[in-house]
Amino acid sequence: MYEDTSSRNGKRVLVDRLWPRGMSEERAHLDAWLRDVAQSADLRHWRHHDQERFAEFRDRYIGELEDADHRPAVQHVRDLAAHDKVTLVTATKDLGHSEAAVLAQWLGAAGTASR
């Protein structure tokens, strides 16, 4: 979210449930905000940035991605990726342990994750 944008990013899609603090829509340069592809509030609260819980978080989040509530948002990301490069954008500082990284891997690395 806070990195400079580039034409190589393709479609920039925010995948956080909450809008990043201090970021204006103009500075974000997003093509879409798919909050419904993000982890549930319950899962976010459970993990609470605890890296020791990442493996279980990953499994639980993938379970959520496969449920009916996430299906339309997941399909939207897939549709975008079918026509253009997609950069999954997040405000998370630890990109390697983020929902964006899990989502990118789960989607088959069709896009990239960016902060």
Give the whole-angstrom CA distance, residue 37 versus residue 61.
Answer: 10
Q: What is the mean pLDDT of residues 14-33?
A: 90
* CA atoms within a 13 Å half-sphere pointing along the CA-CB vector of 55: 1
Contact yes or no for 73/106 (Cβ under 8 A): no
Of 7 and 12, more confident: 12
72-88 pLDDT, tens per residue?
999 999 999 888 899 99
pTM (two decimals) = 0.83
Of all residues in the chain, what percent carry a pLDDT higher than 90? 57
